[in-house]
């Protein structure tokens, strides 16, 4: 009896803990009667500072209502970048009057970099909704096409902060920051992300923007092509994780080729050292390539690896990035002395890495193998069996385990080390 009582209490505690946050921002759009584009054009008062692109007008009808959406010039500044774009929406309110809202749509930088374009199905970012008086009515946060949070105006601090958009305070669940809207005004807002347990966010607050309508096809408005991925993102720390290989390779220019010794070293961190297992204590393992150029007392080493610029399941196939592999723990390595021409050919390959990472078709091992090949080096056989035998059969791919095992088999060669160690520090970027 006592156990049952405890069980029931626990059940209700869990139910209470999982209760969704209340979302109480008022809905904005009302659907009331037909509205033609001509009516909208006649009603709209042109603004000399911004032009409307009526040619890309689209009529949206969803369960939240019906409205027209058109592009408009001007781009908001978010995290110091002109990143977003704007659209106007027109609808009839509950008493039949035409209403206008300005939507400032700011895709998440990382999302935009990965996807290269905005789509309604997976829109990730923020949408700010203004009325004609430039008063922020509401804001919405989207993740993979679904609303996951709300944004409200932080009136208490309006005007007291600069526009750098640096986070300034965390107040309970609300996260406060600033951004600069398309008209150059500093807007201090607070946002709150809530959890959606699955499916659509029922009763999402102010869900006027519907990324399907607002975020998709956003090229209108005469703003050029706002959906092109921004140049290097200013996400915190992102610069540190990925390196620009060109800046690393540039350092070798500080040492003259004449009389220089050039060496290429391949470092392998095996997944399960001493075996051909593709997974083990070192996860899937890793292969890195180091270039060393020495002349007299000067010596420069750069060591890099090829990675997916993604996390989670996206790591299987994703845009690539080069990472500085200084101090990598390795199990085996093999080194080669090369000519200046071959050294430069490898350096050139590393400077222009393939754009896409694929865990089986083009991973860190493929990258190092191809880089070496560009410099006339044929590495020991890196192929290994992957997957399970059975229907469809096992596949073969270049893997750290395959390359590591083949290098281990050459352990009597003078250029092979099978005792492991820590890779040297690379010099880093040279601007």
> Which residues of this protein are in contact with another protein, per CB under 8 A?
167, 170, 236-237, 240-241, 269, 278-279, 282-286, 288, 305, 307, 311-313, 315-316, 323, 325-329, 364, 422, 425
For the residues of 220-251, what is the DSSP string, one character each? -SSSS-TTSPPSS---TTHHHHSB-HHHHHGG
CA distance 156 to 402: 61
As to burial, measured by CB atoms within 10 angstroms (0-12 exposed, 13-18 middle, 19+ buried), residue 82 is middle
The residue among 125 and 221 lying less far from another protein, judged by its C-beta, is 125
CA distance 219 to 222: 7
In whole angstroms, the minimum distance from the beta carbon of 327 to another protein comes to: 5
In whole angstroms, the minimum distance from the beta carbon of 184 to another protein comes to: 27
- 3-state SS of 325-394 is CCCCEECEEEEEEECHHHHHHHHHHHHCCCCEEECCCECHHHHHHHHHHHCCCCCCCCEEEECCCCCCCC
In whole angstroms, the minimum distance from the beta carbon of 77 to another protein comes to: 21
The residue among 36 and 422 lying less far from another protein, judged by its C-beta, is 422
The residue among 136 and 364 lying less far from another protein, judged by its C-beta, is 364
The residue among 138 and 332 lying less far from another protein, judged by its C-beta, is 332
SS3 417: strand
The residue among 179 and 307 lying less far from another protein, judged by its C-beta, is 307
In whole angstroms, the minimum distance from the beta carbon of 106 to another protein comes to: 18
For the residues of 265-322, what is the DSSP string, one character each? EEEEE-SSTTS--SSBTTBT-EEEEEEEEEETTEEEEEEEEEEES--GGGGGEEEEEE
In whole angstroms, the minimum distance from the beta carbon of 343 to another protein comes to: 24
The residue among 204 and 366 lying less far from another protein, judged by its C-beta, is 366
The residue among 224 and 236 lying less far from another protein, judged by its C-beta, is 236
CA distance 167 to 290: 39
In whole angstroms, the minimum distance from the beta carbon of 387 to another protein comes to: 10
In whole angstroms, the minimum distance from the beta carbon of 238 to another protein comes to: 8
**Which whole-number Å values give the CA distances from 418 to 1, 292, 365, 399, 409, in the listed order?**
64, 20, 18, 17, 9
In whole angstroms, the minimum distance from the beta carbon of 279 to another protein comes to: 5
The residue among 380 and 424 lying less far from another protein, judged by its C-beta, is 424
Using an 8 Å Cβ cutoff, are 101 and 81 in contact? no
The residue among 89 and 282 lying less far from another protein, judged by its C-beta, is 282
Q: Which long-range contacts (CB under 8 A, 24 or more apart) does 159-164 make?
A: 159/186, 159/188, 160/188, 161/186, 161/188, 162/186, 163/77, 164/80
In whole angstroms, the minimum distance from the beta carbon of 127 to another protein comes to: 22
CA distance 149 to 127: 10
The residue among 72 and 401 lying less far from another protein, judged by its C-beta, is 401
Q: Which pair of structure tokens corresponds to residue 431?
A: 């601007």
In whole angstroms, the minimum distance from the beta carbon of 218 to another protein comes to: 27
For residue 277, the number of C-alpha atoms closer than 13 Å in the C-beta half-sphere is: 10
Map tokens 């110091």 to a residue: 80
CA distance 5 to 220: 61
């Amino acid at each position: 009896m006592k156990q049952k009582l405890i069980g029931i209490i626990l059940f209700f505690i869990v139910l209470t803990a999982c209760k969704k946050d209340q979302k109480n921002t008022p809905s904005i759009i009302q659907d009331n009667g037909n509205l033609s584009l001509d009516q909208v054009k006649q009603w709209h008062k042109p603004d000399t500072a911004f032009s409307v692109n009526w040619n890309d007008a689209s009529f949206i009808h969803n369960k939240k209502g019906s409205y027209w959406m058109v592009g408009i010039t001007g781009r908001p500044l978010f995290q110091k970048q002109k990143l977003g774009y704007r659209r106007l929406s027109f609808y009839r309110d509950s008493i039949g009057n035409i209403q206008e809202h300005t939507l400032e749509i700011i895709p998440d930088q990382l999302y935009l970099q990965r996807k290269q374009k905005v789509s309604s199905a997976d829109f990730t970012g923020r949408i700010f909704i203004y009325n004609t008086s430039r008063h922020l009515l509401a804001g919405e946060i989207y993740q993979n096409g679904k609303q996951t949070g709300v944004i409200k105006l932080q009136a208490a601090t309006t005007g007291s902060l600069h526009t750098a958009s640096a986070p300034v305070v965390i107040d309970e669940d609300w996260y406060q920051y600033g951004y600069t809207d398309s008209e150059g005004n500093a807007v201090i807002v607070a946002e709150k992300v809530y959890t959606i347990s699955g499916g659509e966010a029922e009763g999402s607050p102010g869900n006027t923007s519907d990324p399907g309508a607002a975020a998709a096809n956003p090229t209108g408005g005469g703003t050029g092509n706002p959906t092109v991925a921004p140049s290097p993102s200013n996400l915190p720390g992102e610069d540190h994780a990925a390196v620009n290989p060109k800046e690393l390779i540039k350092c070798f220019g500080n040492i003259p080729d004449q009389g220089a010794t050039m060496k290429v070293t391949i470092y392998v961190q095996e997944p399960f050292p001493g075996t051909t297992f593709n997974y083990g204590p070192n996860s899937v393992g890793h292969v890195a390539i180091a270039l060393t150029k020495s002349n007299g007392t000067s010596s420069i080493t750069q060591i890099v690896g090829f990675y997916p610029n993604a996390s989670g399941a996206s790591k299987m196939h994703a845009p690539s990035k080069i990472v500085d592999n200084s101090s990598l723990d390795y199990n085996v390595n093999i080194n080669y002395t090369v000519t200046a021409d071959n050294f430069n050919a490898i350096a050139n390959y590393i400077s222009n890495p393939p754009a896409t990472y694929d865990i089986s078709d083009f991973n860190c091992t493929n990258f190092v193998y191809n880089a070496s090949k560009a410099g006339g080096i044929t590495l020991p056989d890196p192929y290994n069996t992957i997957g399970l035998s059975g229907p469809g059969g096992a596949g073969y791919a270049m893997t750290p385990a395959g390359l590591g095992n083949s290098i281990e088999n050459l352990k009597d060669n003078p250029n092979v080390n099978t005792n492991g160690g820590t890779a040297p520090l690379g010099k880093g970027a040279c601007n």
